[in-house]
Each structure stands twice: as C-alpha cells, then as structure tokens.
Amino acid sequence: MPHTLSTDTPEGTGALVSRAGKLLIVVAGLAVAVLVLAGCGARATTAPEADKVLAVQSQMPFQIMVPSYLPKEFDRKNVEITVNLAGPGGEPMVQLAYRTKKGATVTLQEWVPVNPDREILSASRPIQTKWGRGWNLNQGDQLAAIWADVGPTRVSIYTADVATVSNERLLAIAETLGPASNEVVFSFDAAPKQIQEMAAPPAFEVPITAAGVQELTLVVTPGGYSPVRFSVKAGVPVKLTFRQLGEVGCGNELIFPADPVNPASLQLDSATDEQTIEFTPTQLGTFEFHCSHQMYRGLLTVRE
Amino acid sequence: MDMKLLISLGKPLARRRWPLAILAIVAVGVLAGGLLFAFAGSPVVAAPPAGATITYNLFATDGYVALPDGRAIYNYGFVGGRAGVPLTYAKSVTPSGADSATGAYDSFTYNGNGTIAGGAPTPTPGAIVGDEAALAGNAQWPAPLIYATVGDVVQIRFKNLGVSANPDAPNDPHSIHLHGLDVNAANDGVPETSVGAVPANAVDDADKPIPGAGNVIVYMFSPQGPGTYMYHCHQEADIHVQMGMYGALVIYNKGDAAAKTGPGANKGGKLFGWDYDKDYVLLLTEVDTRQHGAEDGIFDGDFEGTEYNPVNYHPQYWQINGLSFPNTIHVGLPGASGWADWIAAHPGYDPFVTGSVSRPHSPPGNPKGDRVLLRMINMGFETQPMHMHGFHAKVIGSDQRGWPWANTPKWGEGQEKQTLTIGSGETYEWLLNLGQQSVTSTYPAETQTRYDANGNPVANTQTSASVIDSYIGGPVVSGASGLPTPGQLFPMHNHDDYKATNNGVYPGGMFTIIETLP
C-alpha cells in the first residue's frame, strides 16, 4: 500500500498540528529541564580532571593533588597539566592551569621542596592554613598567590584575575586539596574564608650569664636586625654589642632606647667595628630601635 | 507523564510517517543541542591562552667585560634566562694590565661563550652547586632581557652567587627592582623599603652564613600594561647600576607575534593602538671606569685614595645595549665570530636598526615600509639627546603609557621627533616608518650608495665607470660585515657628540645606524 503524504485524516489538519505541537512542547520541556539541572552545578561529581591527572601520575615522584573546590567558571575537564617542570629549588614540579571561558587562569604548582626554609616567596606574609603554615602574596588587584605546605608537598596557587579569585578564595582552594581519584568536586561558594596571619614567634629572651648580665650581640644585616625582636628582664644589667654583617648603608648607626626618653646612638666606624652599650632597664614596655632613617627597625621588650 | 496520553498522541501521527519523522528529527535535535550545550564545557571558539606562567632563573654575580677599544673593566650583573630555554652566556674576559689611574685594564683575553643545553639552572638553596658554578663570575652585560605578555604571571627565581671573578671585591647583597611595573612596596626591590636585598652566598668571620645567604627568592608579578620597562638592582643604586646590574623588560599585548620571541626578532605587534612590524630595544648607558676600578680594588683615586665619589661621575664610554660603535653595527667584536657570539649570548639586544622600505600594508592606500618600534630606555646617569638622520619618527608613548595626541591611527605629523631627549629612568616608544626613504640614494658623479656582499662599493651601473674607492664610507663603514643587503646608512647617535666617542676616539660611543632594505 503506497504511503502518501496526505492531510485528509479522520481528525483533520488542525488536530494533527495540535498533537504535534503537544509532543514538541513535551520534548522542549524535557530539554529545558535537563539544561536547568546541568547549569545549576549543584551536583557533586568526581573530579572531571581525574583521568588526566592519573594518566601522568606515574611521571611524578609524589601524589598530584587537585582541589575539591574551584569556582564554577573554571573548566576542570580542560585543565592543562605540565609535568617535570623544575620547582624553585630545582625539584620535579607539576603545574595545573585551570581556565575560564573569558580567559582567567588559576594555576597550581606542586613540588616537594629540597630546602623548605630557603625557598622564599618574596614579600609574602606567613599565614595559617588548615594544613599548617603557608604564605600569602597580596598585590592588590594585580596578583594573588598562596604557598601552602601540605605535608611534604608545597603547593603554590596563584592568579592574576583577582576579581574572580580573591586571596580568600585561593585559601579555600588550598584547603580542599586532595588526590584526584578520591575527590568529590563542588563549586558552590563555601563560607568565606579569613586569612589568618601566623602568630609572630615570641620575642627572643636574652639569656642571663653566670655573672648576672644579659648579654646580646645585635647584628644589622642587609635583611634587617638579628634578632629583630628580643626581650630583657627589668632590673638586670644588659650588655648589648652592636655590629654589622655585609653592606648596610646607613644601617651602621643604631638609635637604641636604652633610656626610652633619651635613646642612645651607636655608630659603627667600619665594617668590622663593634660598639657596646651597658645599661640596666627599668621602664617596662616595648620600644622601637632603628637606624638613623628609620628604615631598619626592631623591637625591644622590657619585661618584669 | 501519562503513558496513555502519549500513546494516544502518537497513534494518529504514526499513520503519517513524514511529519512524524520531521518532528522526531527536530525533537532529537533540540534535545541533543540542549545536552551538548549543558555538558560540552568550552565553546567552539577557544579563548586565547591567558595568564600563562613565565619563569626566569636569574643569578647575581660579578665579572669582567670588554670595552670597545680593547680595554676591560670589572662589573656586577645578572646571568640566567627563561627556564627550559637553552642558554648561551658570555664568559667573562680575562683582564690584564691594571691601570690604577683609570680603574680599567689595558687589555684582555677573550673567552667566548658558554652554553647550558637545558637552560639556566633553577637555583639551589644553599651552597653553589652544579651549573651555578659555571655561571658564577660571568655576569652578563647588559642583564638578560625579560619579556612576557599582559596578564601573564612572571616568576623570577633569584639567587645571589656572590663575587667570584674577583673574590676580594665587596660581597654585596642584590635586589631586583621592577622599574615601571608599579608593584606594591614590599615587592619593590628596594632594600630600604621592601623586603631586604638578597645577601651574597657568604659567611661571617665565625664561618656562619649571613642570615639569608643562599636563599632562593621567588619574585612574582603580573604585568597589567604593555610597554617598555626595565629592571635593575637597587642595593646602593649609585654603585650597582653603574656597575652593570640593569636589563630591559618588555611586555607585549595578547596576540602580538613578538610576544612569542621577544624584541629584535623581526616580529610585530600592536602598542597603544599603533601596529608595528618589528621592534628593537635600545638601552642607553655609560661607563665611568673609575667606579669599576674602585669596586675592583685597583683604582688609586684622585681625591681620597681608593674611594671613588659618585658625585665626580664622568663617563668615558657610552653604550647602546652594552655596545659602543662600531660594535653596534656588528663590527670589531672580539673573537673569530664576534657578532654571532655576542648576539647568541644577548638575544633581543641587537641595536642595528634595519627595515624594508617597500613592505605593503592593507588597506593598499596605507604608506608602505616597515614600521619599526624603537624601545628607547635610559639606564645611565645622564640625560641623552638621541638623534636620527634621514627620518622623523613618531613618539607614541613614554613610561609605559600611550600619548593620546600621537594616537590617531593615520600617519600624520603629530608628535614626530628626530631628536629625542631621554632622562635617566625614562622609556620612550618611538615609531619609525622606513618607507619615508628609498633603498638607495644618488651621489655626485652618479655613484650610488651600494656595497656588494664584501662591503665594497660597486661599479656605477649607469656609466660603468668605477666608483672612487675612497669616496664614501671610510674604513669603518665599508668594513661592516653582516649587512643584510646594501642600502642607505643613516646614523642614529647621541647628539652630545663627545658621547659618540670611545674615550675621546671618534666615531664611537652611543652611535648606531638605521639601514634601508628593499
């Protein structure tokens, strides 16, 4: 029986169109529902980049970590992974770069530092992370970076797109790092983080010698005073020897509050010269000592 | 959804195959499109890679460098380069004949270049190890050129190797100041106002390391604006800058062809709204040998013994990119392959400006000729008036900012200069259109300024009379080798003409040439 295109059905053309229309609406509705659900991003899934990470894992001598949390703009599936780069001390390093459609990038670099105390992020301040110590470099709207020590691995997370990923969000990313195979990833905003600075180490307590004198050699170096903060006990004599190490320019003159009301000036005549001041502190409190231009500074605490 | 309803909807349609088929295709298409959109992730047109990480490994150290007249001086400087890029560095010369009156050496032995196939080594915290030992004592002159793109994150890993070429010289700390990049104060590289300068890898008299010695400092910054910048040490800047611790730093726009190669590579880009076909860095500096001799311990001094007072600064040599004429036009450099060696160790620093006069641009009505961007940088201690013969060039910007009154996208006459006065610390972007001239010019007796491949004047093609041998050029120019093809030669030089000498011998100093090519 030949099939022909014909409109003379028992129901008529109008009924046919209305039925087709209903089917189309159903289909469209389903598509919209799928779109809405997918766009929402509310589902937690395994890390889309896990396969990429596991493919290169054997080339790195430590476990590559990925963050559970990343703002949703970042495309995990197309993360750019580069292995066997060299870290700041020459160690094997892996780099993961996540990008958004608009071209913002957040980059993670991971390595196991050979000498963790001597690889330094310039002008960063020490912060607390849930893993322990970290460093935050904050350059306003130009650059934000966090170094975090996660066990033996150091992770550097940074972005030039501070509008999308602020310092606090970087910390949130850092604190959700984990192995790619285990990670359940999410992108809804976590509770906003606060960057907590590391508490400064306690002031160095000047020891009292057997003769009952607090003796200290205060050294000025290109990096500043060493020790930069120290404390002495009131009522006990102090013998302070001032010297320099390396090129310090005008740092060779020390303005020191042995008497807080009338600070003394100690001037070094040469690179090998030493100047000594002896005094007994009485006034309690914390006082600043500095070079003649107040560029090098330190703190003296007189305690009970 | 009620299955009965679906079935009841489907039944009558099933009797009409074609409408049903069309409907099914449309429905599947909509659904598939929706699914694709939801799950595909990145769009069909990928965003250009942005925010790349550019890493440099740099070391501070000392060395000895040749002067253009066969003498030599002690210098401080940086050495290193981009991570992972094969490194060629110039080895220090071996000086001899210390002259205590001038602080320079009378002669030197040339030691060629060294190479590290894997690139500048990543600094190792602590003592000097491995390839670092090869670099110690070989400070570059000028410092390695740094280049990146707007929005990149640049990391400089920095270690101070201390003095090595002269172990008795002051073992100073060093810093990196990023001039013009407007980072915040802590990152500024000024020892007095930022974090401290990096001490040398040295010990105190009790053999304990100076605090901070041997540290690897990672500087990070993200350049926000394109343009011509520089970097230099800011520890005792009056001494360390004169001693050689300066280099150019160029930031490109995204999409610039030159962003992949750096300057001086015959690649173009766009800056402050102007297109250019190639760019050059011209870094101006001077040398007062007495300062170098004082740091080296060989200068007797004229007022206070071995002390050199910077207020008595009076240079004897003037340089572009660390070279004085005729080295600037590739002539007279030490060693058998003098220029080839030098440019291999100093990529991006060629000061010999050349360009085509006939290169077409679209739309066809636009003037022909290479648009050459001259990135003028003054890292010396004097103000320099730089004068170009044969052309006017448009100043399109200065100190990393466009100048709006030059910024109309047509070759008008706004802001065109042939002599540009550049103060210390300033940069200028000077855009030169080589199409203003032709390749050759005509001289009396109908000779032409053509030289053959050996640099000899060619016969007059019109009258076939031989060219007067000694007519044009003289020994310096006719001896020029490596000229791409014969063309007009236009001096570009410091108009304080005593600065176009090498310690008083003319021509020399801050002097280079612009050459027209076909």
Spans of all domains in chain B: 53-261
Q: Do B30 and A77 touch (CB under 8 A)?
A: no
Rounded to the nearest 5 degrees, what angle is found at the Cα of A70, between the Cα atoms of A67 and A73? Answer: 145
| Inter-chain CB proximity A158 and B204 less than 8 Å | no
Distance from CA of B17 to the nearest CA of A (A): 8
Residue A4: closest CA among chain B residues belongs to which residue? B16
Provide, as residue numbers in chain B, all residues whose Cβ is less than 8 Å from the Cβ of A140: 184
Chain position carrying tokens 């981009």: B82
Q: Is the model's pLDDT at B288 over the cut of 50? A: yes
Measured in angstroms, the CA of B239 and the nearest CA of chain A are apart by 12
* Interface contact flag, A99 B121, Cβ < 8 Å: no
- Higher-confidence residue: A284 or B460? A284
Compute the mean pLDDT over every residue in chain B, rounded to the nearest whole number. Answer: 83
**Taking the CB of residue B259, how many other CB atoms lie within 10 A of it?**
21
Question: Can you tell me whether residue A264 is helix, strand or coil?
Answer: strand
Asked whether B469 and B458 are in contact (CB, 8 A), the reply is no
* Amino acid in the structure at residue B100: S
Is A23's CB within 8 Å of B187's CB?
no
Instruction: Determine whether the interchain pair A20/B19 forms a contact, defined as Cβ–Cβ distance below 8 Å.
Output: yes
Looking at CATH, the fold of the domain delimited by A204-303 is given as: Immunoglobulin-like (2.60.40)
Architecture of domain A45-197 in this structure: 2-Layer Sandwich (3.30)
Give the pLDDT score at A96.
97
Q: Count of CB contacts below 8 A, A vs B?
A: 210
Q: For residue A222, what pLDDT is reported?
A: 74
Q: How close does chain B come to A283, measured CA to CA in Å?
A: 30
- Three-class DSSP category at A168: helix
Burial class (CB within 10 angstroms; exposed 0-12, middle 13-18, buried 19+) of A223:
buried
Report the gap between the CA of B257 and the closest CA in chain A (Å).
Answer: 19
Chain B residue with the nearest C-alpha to that of A137: B220
Task: Find out whether A122 and B221 touch, Cβ atoms under 8 Å.
Answer: no
Higher pLDDT, A85 or B303: A85
Mean pLDDT to the nearest integer, B157-175: 89
Q: Is the pLDDT of residue A31 over 80?
A: no
Neighbours of B264 (CB within 10 A): 25
At residue B483 the predicted structure's pLDDT band, cuts being 50, 70 and 90, is: very low
Question: CB distance from A35 to chain B under 8 Å?
Answer: yes
CB contact (8 A) between residue B200 and residue A246? yes
pLDDT of A7 over the 50 cut: no
Which residues of chain B have a CB within 8 Å of the CB of A87? 122
The region of weakest confidence among A45-54, A90-99, B40-49 is: B40-49
Task: Give the residue on A whose Cα is nearest the Cα of B209.
Answer: A245
Q: How far apart are CA A232 and CA A6, in angstroms?
A: 105
pTM above 0.90, yes or no: no
Note the pLDDT of residue B438: 82
A101 touches chain B (CB under 8 A): yes
Residues of B in contact with A75 (CB under 8 A): 41-42
> Do B229 and B183 contact (CB within 8 A), yes or no?
no
Asked whether the beta carbons of residue A88 and residue B218 sit closer than 8 angstroms, the reply is: yes
Residue A18: alpha-carbon gap to chain centroid: 61
CA-based nearest distance A163→chain B, Å:
13
Rounded mean pLDDT of A274-289? 94
**Cβ distance of A118 and B126 shorter than 8 Å:** yes
DSSP codes, B322-335 = TB-BTGGGT-S-SS
Chain A, window 272-301: residues with a beta carbon less than 8 angstroms from a chain B beta carbon: 293, 295-296
Closest CA of chain A from B237, distance in Å: 11
* Residue B412 tokens, joined: 């008008």
pLDDT value, residue B486: 62
- Residue B267 is predicted with a pLDDT of 96
Interface contact B199-A224, CB threshold 8 A:
no
Tens digits of residue pLDDT in B346-394: 999 999 999 999 999 988 878 899 999 999 999 999 999 999 999 999 9
Q: Is A15 on the interface with B (CB under 8 A)?
A: yes
Q: Which one-letter amino acid corresponds to residue B74?
A: Y
Q: How far apart are CA A145 and CA B103, in angstroms?
A: 46
**B215·A160 Cβ contact <8 A:** no
Provide the shortest C-alpha distance from residue B362 to chain A (in Å). Answer: 30
- Per residue in B409-442, pLDDT tens? 555 556 889 999 999 999 999 999 999 988 776 5
Q: Which of A93 and B458 is assigned the larger pLDDT?
A: A93
Question: Which pair of structure tokens corresponds to residue A133?
Answer: 């110590």
Contact B264, B277 (CB under 8 A): no
Q: Verify whether the Cβ–Cβ distance A142 to B51 is below 8 Å.
A: no
For residue range A169-213, list pLDDT tens digits in order. Answer: 999 999 999 998 877 888 776 677 788 888 777 888 999 999 999
Residues 112-151 of A with CB under 8 A from B: 114-115, 118-123, 137-140, 142-143, 145
Domain B53-261 has CATH 2.60.40.420: yes
A221, A254 contact by CB (below 8 A): no
Distance between alpha carbon A213 and the CA centroid of its chain, in Å? 43
Q: Are the beta carbons of A145 and B157 separated by less than 8 Å?
A: no
Residues of chain A contacting B236 with CB distance shorter than 8 Å: 247, 249
